[in-house]
Structure 1
């Protein structure tokens, strides 16, 4: 069964967004009476029946709902976007599939890319949750300077992934069960030693 994303499906009277409506009716050729599934990205999956098959505002009657509790442990990844935006988009897709809760693009001294297009990245995340069937959508924060980001409070363990030589332990050996984790991932030129 085809899966659609509508974050406000319960509060907007069962309407799909214009983009999802067009995809449902024009591209997939659904009609009134067809059954579809809608996720809200907030832990709910809805079973519904198309009532009005309009490509601008498809209306759905909700027949049932499944819910999933949020993960007991939360993971936040702060990453410097790569020069090739395709790599950043791939990262967002995979992060969404494995259940990362927050993603913050950061700008550091060695960053190759200092601007991003949030609407495009949000579309990548939407596509990934629909593909993976995840009930939860990660939160994509705005592009944040590193010095500003590290001042943000975080309740959990903090880690920095880097390429400097040394005998640092592997992340899998230091993660503690039941603890939230924040992982900083630097740019292609890695973090500067000062950071």
Structure 2
């Protein structure tokens, strides 16, 4: 039977569970002093620990063993996406992509963006939950929302692609991606990237791609891109 995983990002400097995790451990799961539990710091490590103080507000543990969990993929995957008007759809994408495996999420503001801001703390909680549910020890990085122009000008050591629906020559992601390479993929809003944004991205080293014949919603396209990279690897 798989153990419940508790997220303890500062476990090496603080052997007390964060209050929400402590309450879940002691009040909900009724763990007691002497019980062993499994922790992760979200940085690629699992910790076997023993509860030495079973207080919901001050659940203190003693680390018994440390295990490094390999990431599971030998490349870095960054998905930059324009948040949808219905934030539930982006939260769904973030959850599912974390379960599959992604290194970094970057929300971007585009000319046709429907949403100008997001609640990072809410999405962060979803990422933590998805990480624990999928038995991973690596929490994806979630960036603050930034402009499209700022993002495409940043250095990136790897392959860069922009997915769009304009009628111009594009190659399928599955045909153009080179296996094992770091990759950054741009996914636009429901109204797509503007023609000016596509030109600007190409001028900054991004290659235009298609994800198939169907016109996909933003969150579907982002998840298909994530899954395609994993399948190819």
* TM-score strictly above 0.5: yes
Partner SS for 1:53: strand
Partner SS for 2:23: helix
Could you tell me which residue of structure 1 aligns to residue 33 of structure 2?
Answer: 32
Task: Give the C-alpha shift of residue 75 in structure 1.
Answer: 0.7
Task: Give the C-alpha shift of residue 166 in structure 1.
Answer: 4.0
Deviates more, 1:85-94 or 1:156-165: 156-165
Task: Give the C-alpha shift of residue 35 in structure 1.
Answer: 1.5
Q: Stretches of 4+ moved more than 6 A in 1?
A: none
Q: Mapping of 1:1-195 within 5 angstroms?
A: 1-12=3-14, 14-70=15-71, 71-195=73-197
Partner SS for 2:184: strand
Whole-angstrom distance in 2 between the partners of 1:20 and 1:129: 14
Whole-angstrom distance in 1 between the partners of 2:177 and 2:61: 43
TM-score by length of 1: 0.95
What are the ranges of 5 or more consecutive residues in structure 2 without an aligned counterpart?
198-233
CA RMSD of aligned residues (A): 1.2
State the aligned residue count: 194
CA contact (8 A) 1:99 1:136 kept: no
Whole-angstrom distance in 1 between the partners of 2:66 and 2:174: 36
What are the ranges of 5 or more consecutive residues in structure 1 without an aligned counterpart?
none
TM-score by length of 2: 0.80
CA contact (8 A) 1:104 1:140 kept: yes
Whole-angstrom distance in 2 between the partners of 1:128 and 1:57: 25
CA distances 1:23-63 after superposition (whole Å, capped 9, x unpaired): 11112211111111001111101111111011112111111
CA distances 1:140-174 after superposition (whole Å, capped 9, x unpaired): 00000111111111010101111223442211111
Whole-angstrom distance in 2 between the partners of 1:162 and 1:32: 55
Partner SS for 1:58: strand
